[in-house]
Amino acid sequence: MFLYQICQCWICCSPSCRNRVPYRREMTNASLVTTFILTGLPHAPELDMLLFGIFLVIYVLTVVGNLLIMLLIIVNPHLHTPMYYFLSNLSFIDMWYSTVTVPKMLMTLESPEGSPISFPSCAAQFYSFDFLGSTECFLYTVMSYDRFLAISYPLRYANMMSGRMCAILATTTWLSGSLHSAAQTTPTFRLPFCGPNQIQHYICDAPSILKLACADTSTVEMVIFVNIGLVALGCFLLIVLSYVSIVHSILKICTSEGRWRAFQTCASHCTVVLCFYVPLVFIYLRPGSKEVVDRIVAVFYTVMTPLLNPVVYTLRNKDVKKALLKLKKSVFIQSK
């Protein structure tokens, strides 16, 4: 307990040890918050069981679907290509992205008073949620670059996107996501929280948490706004530039069949990117904030997008469907 109080003092107060003690005195009788309450999605109480069942089914399908894609890519040699290597990374991210958010949402639906979450757990969820989300942004950018090379430079593609290059790009996305998340989590949870403790959301997210801080949050808000803006808009612009170049290359293809196959290759990626970026930009990069609207829109990129990835890439991708049929046949033969 004593060690926990020291950690709380370090997180919520100034770095100087001499400044920490006076700061605590200035708070008089107010005590630092050790537990937050997640209020969950806005809804009528009679819908608790229905929403619980819907989101539970979505979560199970998300985990199973993304695990299935990773398994197909691992066991099928024909899918050992850069595109599917990055797709397996995306499935891994989406599986954990959903795991970080949906179970806590389900807990808020079970309790009408909201779901309690400790200060360290809230900080851990905040970091994990932002880490996986920003890593996904970077990965979408890398995947669009991969498609650009495959369509614009088909003869040089194998050398330009070698196994070593794929590993470097994937590692860079994970490290960049980690640094981006740390740059937001650290200043947010160094703020003092002395009450109230109700987070008007189903996850520990920046806009909702900053409203509870009993200190000036303008600097932290600016840091988060610029940080998210640079990552989200920067990655989105790079994706747009990649696809402008891709469209230009596709139009040069002589046969209509070749053009159609090239467009099909990129359609799945574009669909998922739009479903992820539109609600993200709406919540974090628009002026003003409405808690009810934000919580509803957040469902699209925290719950629906991780489910869309296995659905879109399975239903629209012939290679994945062939691998799935092959896996079904092998399982059926072994079961006999």
More confident residue, 259 or 124: 124
Task: Look at residue 43 and tell me whether its pLDDT is greater than 60.
Answer: yes
297 and 279 Cβ atoms separated by less than 8 Å:
yes
Residues 8 and 73 occupy one common structural domain: no
Task: Note whether 9 and 61 are same-domain residues.
Answer: no
Tell me: do 84 and 166 sit in the same domain: yes
Residues 223 and 156 in one domain: yes
Residues 156, 16 within the same domain: no
Confidence bin at 335 (pLDDT 50/70/90) = low
Q: How confident is the model at residue 23 (pLDDT cuts 50, 70, 90)?
A: very low
Q: 234 or 325: which carries more pLDDT confidence?
A: 234
Q: Which is more confident, 103 or 29?
A: 103
User: For residue 267, what are the domain limits?
Assistant: 35-187+195-335
Same domain for 326 and 307, yes or no, is yes
One domain for residues 80 and 112: yes
3: pLDDT strictly greater than 90: no
Model confidence band, residue 258 (pLDDT cutoffs 50, 70, 90): low
Please check whether residue 142 is in contact with residue 83, taking contact to mean a CB–CB distance below 8 angstroms: no
Sign of the Cα pseudo-torsion (174, 180, 181, 183, in order): positive
Count structural domains, the chain.
Answer: 2
Q: Is the pLDDT of residue 31 over 80?
A: no
Q: Output the pTM of the full model.
A: 0.82
pLDDT at 269: 75
152 in the same domain as 120: yes
**pLDDT in the model for residue 4:** 38
Same domain, 169 and 26: no
Asked whether residue 227 falls in the same domain as residue 298, the answer is: yes
Winning range, highest mean pLDDT, from 31-45, 113-127, 279-293:
113-127
- Which residues on adjacent β-strands are paired with residue 37? 116, 198
194 burial via Cβ count (<10 Å: 0-12, 13-18, 19+): middle
Specify whether the CB–CB gap between 91 and 309 falls below 8 A.
Answer: yes
Exposure string over 75-108, b if 16+ CB within 10 A, otherwise e: ebeebebbbbbbbbbbbbbbbbbbbbbbebbbbb
Q: How confident is the model at residue 227 (pLDDT cuts 50, 70, 90)?
A: confident
Question: How many Å is the Cα radius of gyration of the chain?
Answer: 23
Residues 83 and 215 in one domain: yes
Tell me the pLDDT band of 54, cut-offs 50, 70 and 90: very high
Picking from 2-16, 101-115, 273-287, 298-312, which range would have the lowest pLDDT averaged per residue?
Answer: 2-16
Do 20 and 86 lie in a common domain?
no
Q: What is the CATH classification number for the domain harbouring 81?
A: 1.20.1070.10
